[in-house]
Amino acid sequence: MPPDCSRMTKRPFYENFVQKTFTFQKTVTLNTAYSFIMDQQIINLYDEYTHQPLSRQEFLKRLTLLAGGTAAAMALLPLLEVNYAHAAVTTDDDLFTEYISYPGVPAEMKAYVARPREKKKYSAVIVIHENRGLNAHIEDVTRRAAKAGYLAIAPNALAALGGTPADEDEARTKFQQLKAEDNLKNFINVFDYLPSRKDYNGKAGCVGFCWGGAMSNSLAVNVPSLKAAVAFYGRQPSAEDTAKIKAAVQLHYGGLDERVNAGIPAYEEALKKNDISYELYSYEGANHAFHNDTAPTRYNETAAKLAWLRTIDFFNKYLE
């Protein structure tokens, strides 16, 4: 449960914090009876911290200034940072799951696989994580895709560097060690691996989030056999690269995500110019990472559910 606001406002130190930083709304969400409306400056700061080389020390310093005190900043952290205890919401009772390996650079790649339990051929959906590596949340999203009737495979970009650290700061630091050309090759390689599976029917799509949204766009550019690419708030390819896309593209953006949204006009213009089939959705009032239900302040249940429904409908259209 969230902290008791009536108690908090009795303490002078919290009074400004509560009024300036966030309010509570009684709405029904997946794992809590409350959703948080937080000062957008604080959400933007956290977005900067998770996507740019901003040290935790500097992040906490700036968070303290925005929150109005050290204790207030510490109270905010659990509301900002992801909580993977919320991730295991999709059971695997009627699914077949496994971990697999395939060739990678500079080392072997690993991936989580989920599909319906029935032994037959399925269209594949490659699920691409955020800039933290494969984790419980993305494995849950992979099971959601499997529940929709797909052979869902979630590669771990950090497998080639030894795996995903438990500490998120360490995971983000590891991402800076990835060589772009090796990383792209490692995700392209999963499409070379697919034909070796007896449960694959030859049709493939991909869906990615944040860092993975950018990778989804890159795969659309670099994998001619790809049928459908879905990118959630991902960096857009150049106009020159967009011209190479053969897949249908679906794009999801948070209306408040100024950093990523700056690239939308040029990308949409290039998609139109090259007659590429695409769908583009912007969700008013939603932040970057609105689909991640382990991130309390940025998760937007309404937008997330609608975007996922659109994603599955898109795959049903292009992969069936």
The per-residue pLDDT for range 244-267, each reduced to its tens digit, is 999 999 999 999 999 999 999 999
The CA-atom distances, in angstroms, between 206 and each of 124, 127, 128, 203, 227 are: 8, 6, 8, 11, 9
What is the rounded average pLDDT of the residues 71-79?
Answer: 81
Residues 119 and 207 in one domain: yes
CATH of the domain at 109: 3.40.50.1820
Q: Please determine, for residue 81, whether its predicted confidence score (pLDDT) is greater than 90.
A: no
What's the pLDDT tens digit per position in 191-232? 999 999 999 999 999 999 999 999 999 999 999 999 999 999
Quickly state the pLDDT bin for 84 (edges 50, 70, 90): low
Asked if 197 and 271 sit in the same domain, the reply is yes
Residues 55 and 152 reside in one and the same domain: no
Contact present, 159 and 183 (Cβ < 8 Å)? no
In a shared domain, residues 63 and 138: no
- In this structure, which amino acid lies at residue 257? D
Spatial CB neighbours of 237, under 8 Å, sequence gap ≥ 6: 217, 218, 220, 221, 245, 267
Which of 61, 81, 101 represents a domain boundary (last residue)? 81
Single-letter code of the amino acid located at 319 = L
| Whether residue 111 sits in one domain with residue 38 | no
Contacts of 142 (CB under 8 A, 6+ apart): 112, 113, 114, 127, 152, 153, 154
Give the other-Cβ count within 10 Å of 278's Cβ.
19
Q: Are residues 95 and 14 in the same domain?
A: no
Query: Encoding tokens for residue 175?
Result: 């991402």
pLDDT at 11: 32
Q: Would you state the pLDDT for residue 26? A: 29
Higher pLDDT, 297 or 162: 162
pTM of the shown model: 0.80
Q: Are 15 and 148 contained in the same domain?
A: no
The mean predicted confidence, pLDDT, of the chain is 86
Query: Residue 27: is its pLDDT beyond 90?
Result: no
* In a shared domain, residues 57 and 128: no
Q: How many domains does the chain have?
A: 2
Residues 40, 89, single domain; the answer is: no
Last residue of a domain, one of 50, 81, 112: 81
179 in the same domain as 94: yes
Q: Are residues 304 and 204 in the same domain?
A: yes
Q: Answer yes or no: do 198 and 268 share one domain.
A: yes
Closest CA to 104 of 175, 43, 59, 158: 158
27-31, 70-74, 96-100 — which is least confidently predicted?
A: 27-31
293-296 long-range Cβ contacts below 8 angstroms, 24+ apart? 293/30, 293/31, 293/86, 293/87, 293/89, 293/137, 294/82, 294/83, 294/84, 294/85, 294/86, 294/87, 294/136, 294/137, 295/80, 295/81, 295/82, 296/32, 296/35, 296/36, 296/78, 296/79, 296/80, 296/83
**pLDDT value for 40:** 81
Of 31, 53, 81, the residue that ends a domain is 81
What domain range includes position 21?
Answer: 5-81
Q: How confident is residue 139, by pLDDT bands cut at 50, 70 and 90?
A: very high
Res. 312: pLDDT tops 60: yes
